[in-house]
């Protein structure tokens, strides 16, 4: 069979979801002597379905490669969450004197954003400048996104100010960056500026604005911007409804959140019901929680945990037990959490149940302290994120305990920029401390234990904000 035909066939099989046929076809070819473009097509196709090993094999066997081959490998690895391998390919590319281009960097920057590693980020950015690659709107958006996810919102802002801002995606990246940093008012201010500069917001802009409101509990503003969408002829999508349900639910307006779900012009999906379910848990409303859970057709492990948590909150231990039994019976496995940490340039990975952290107890203490403060100062708990990993046994002991604590800790970090007491140290000094770092929503925070003093550090633009909690 002609090689071009084979590569097209593989591509078609994969786009139709018949990946088995594609792999089989590849195996049956006695000798891989694809021309350049056919091989590239095959690499892209297998990367698309997550078969990076097959793609790698094809790539390794190529007698000649061009920049598209390299970029397909690097981009493919990044898409499949294998950034280390993407970096390895990139280094190989450089060592063989192949020149990277804007496509190469776009993938690498995205990889850094996923990982939240600031040293890698800086290296890639420096290299981009060294190679004198013009920063177009795609690279600009990617850079802004990368720096905000690495905890360097100030650097993200600097980049934003220096690049061409006539594309909506650049604004979206910046608005979303501010939103995840808990800077909702800045995000809203940027929206106004965007309108002044005559760039039309799109549906993603509103997702950013609504999530910003949701993170900070700005109900009135959330409602206002949700209504504003229609004046830009943007129909609310599932994502916007989701943000509203999240916002209203967290603030305790369960009925209004439920009304939104019912008024939706499309069928609510699992994400919407999950947001609602999550709100039911926070509000300790097991009745509404059951309504939500009944709607969720395909239960994932997380949904069971949420329902069980609702019962725990309402002291309905029997019901909680029943849910957990069902879980076991159905053979539901909990998703094991994973997190990444960059320390002195090295990326460390942690898995749930990983008990190798000597300072785990101290971290708990910090979080408990944060909860006390949160309750005292009346902050609204925002998103629930896994700040650190605990074993399944510990989760079993008290399902509610862990997530509640993390939610509150996250809430205080996001909703109180004034909490940090003083700005003392720079990044380098902190790296010298005996410390423990965690990635919170891809923003770098550190919990530092020095002689029984527990500190929480947040990094932004190379400046470390420290706060004492004990």
Residues that bind DNA (CB under 7 A): 4, 7-8, 36-38, 40-41, 44, 66-69, 71-72, 75, 78-79, 101-103, 106-107, 109-110, 113, 136-139, 141-142, 145, 167-170, 172-173, 176-177, 179-180, 202-205, 207-208, 211, 214-215, 237-239, 242-243, 246, 271, 274-275, 278, 302, 383-385
Distance, CA of 207 to CA of 417 (rounded, Å): 23
Cβ nearer to DNA, comparing 135 with 430: 135
Minimum separation from the CB atom of position 72 to DNA (A): 5
Angle between helices 36-48 and 3-15 (to 10 degrees): 20
Angle between helices 184-196 and 168-180 (to 10 degrees): 160
Count of other CB atoms within 10 angstroms of residue 434: 9
Cross-strand bridge partners of residue 350: 339
Minimum separation from the CB atom of position 421 to DNA (A): 27
The number of residues in the chain equals 470
The DSSP symbol for 181 reads T
Minimum separation from the CB atom of position 290 to DNA (A): 18
Cβ nearer to DNA, comparing 207 with 430: 207
Distance, CA of 93 to CA of 230 (rounded, Å): 48
Minimum separation from the CB atom of position 434 to DNA (A): 30
3-class DSSP state of 284: coil
Minimum separation from the CB atom of position 377 to DNA (A): 22
The DSSP bridge pattern shows strands 453-460 and 463-468 to be antiparallel
Count of other CB atoms within 10 angstroms of residue 84: 13
Q: Is 23 exposed, middle or buried (0-12, 13-18, 19+ CB in 10 A)?
A: middle
Distance, CA of 340 to CA of 388 (rounded, Å): 10
3-class DSSP state of 238: helix
Cβ nearer to DNA, comparing 411 with 467: 411
Cβ nearer to DNA, comparing 233 with 376: 233
Minimum separation from the CB atom of position 370 to DNA (A): 18
Cβ nearer to DNA, comparing 43 with 464: 43
Cβ nearer to DNA, comparing 69 with 465: 69
Cβ nearer to DNA, comparing 41 with 221: 41
Give the tokens for residue 99: 């020149």
Minimum separation from the CB atom of position 35 to DNA (A): 7
| 94-134-52 Cα angle (round to 5) | 45
Minimum separation from the CB atom of position 372 to DNA (A): 22
Cβ nearer to DNA, comparing 176 with 286: 176
| 208 neighbors 180 (Cβ within 8 angstroms) | no
């Amino acid at each position: 069979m002609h090689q071009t035909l084979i590569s097209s066939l593989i591509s078609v099989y994969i786009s139709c979801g018949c990946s088995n046929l594609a792999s089989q076809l590849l195996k049956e070819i006695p000798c891989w002597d694809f021309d350049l473009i056919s091989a590239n097509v095959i690499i892209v196709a297998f990367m698309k379905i997550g078969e990076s090993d097959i793609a790698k094999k094809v790539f390794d066997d190529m007698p000649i490669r061009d920049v598209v081959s390299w970029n397909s490998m690097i981009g493919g690895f990044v898409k499949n969450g294998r950034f280390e391998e993407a970096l390895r390919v990139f280094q190989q590319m450089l060592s063989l004197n192949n020149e990277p281009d804007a496509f190469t960097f776009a993938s690498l920057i995205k990889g850094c954003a996923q990982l939240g590693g600031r040293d890698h980020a800086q290296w890639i950015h420096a290299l981009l400048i060294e190679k004198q690659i013009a920063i177009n709107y795609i690279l600009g958006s990617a850079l802004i996104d990368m720096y905000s996810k690495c905890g360097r919102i100030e650097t993200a802002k600097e980049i934003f100010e220096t690049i061409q801002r006539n594309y909506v995606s650049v604004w979206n990246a910046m608005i979303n960056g501010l939103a995840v940093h808990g800077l909702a008012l800045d995000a809203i201010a940027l929206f106004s500026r965007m309108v002044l500069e005559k760039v039309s917001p799109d549906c993603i802009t509103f997702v950013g604005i609504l999530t910003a409101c949701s993170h900070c509990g700005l109900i009135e503003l959330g409602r206002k911007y949700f209504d504003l969408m229609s004046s830009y002829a943007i129909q609310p999508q599932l994502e916007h409804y989701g943000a509203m349900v999240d916002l209203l639910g967290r603030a305790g307006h369960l009925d209004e959140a439920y009304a939104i779900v019912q008024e939706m012009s499309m069928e609510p999906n699992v994400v919407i019901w999950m947001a609602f379910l999550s709100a039911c848990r926070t509000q300790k409303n097991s009745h509404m929680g059951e309504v939500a859970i009944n709607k969720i057709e395909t239960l994932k492990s997380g949904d069971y945990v949420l329902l069980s948590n609702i019962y725990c909150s309402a002291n309905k231990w029997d019901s909680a037990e029943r849910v957990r039994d069902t879980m076991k019976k159905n053979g539901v496995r909990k998703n094991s959490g994973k997190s990444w940490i960059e320390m002195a340039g090295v990326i460390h990975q942690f898995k749930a149940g990983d008990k190798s952290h000597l300072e785990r107890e101290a971290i708990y203490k910090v979080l408990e302290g944060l909860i006390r403060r949160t309750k005292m100062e009346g902050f609204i708990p925002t998103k629930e994120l896994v700040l650190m990993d605990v074993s399944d046994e510990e989760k079993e002991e008290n399902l509610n305990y862990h997530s509640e604590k993390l939610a509150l800790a996250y809430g205080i970090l996001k909703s109180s920029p004034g909490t940090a007491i003083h700005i003392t140290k720079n990044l380098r000094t902190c790296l010298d401390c005996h410390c423990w770092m965690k990635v919170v929503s891809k923003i770098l925070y550190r919990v530092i234990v020095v002689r029984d003093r527990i500190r929480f550090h947040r990094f932004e633009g190379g400046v470390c904000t420290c706060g004492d909690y004990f």
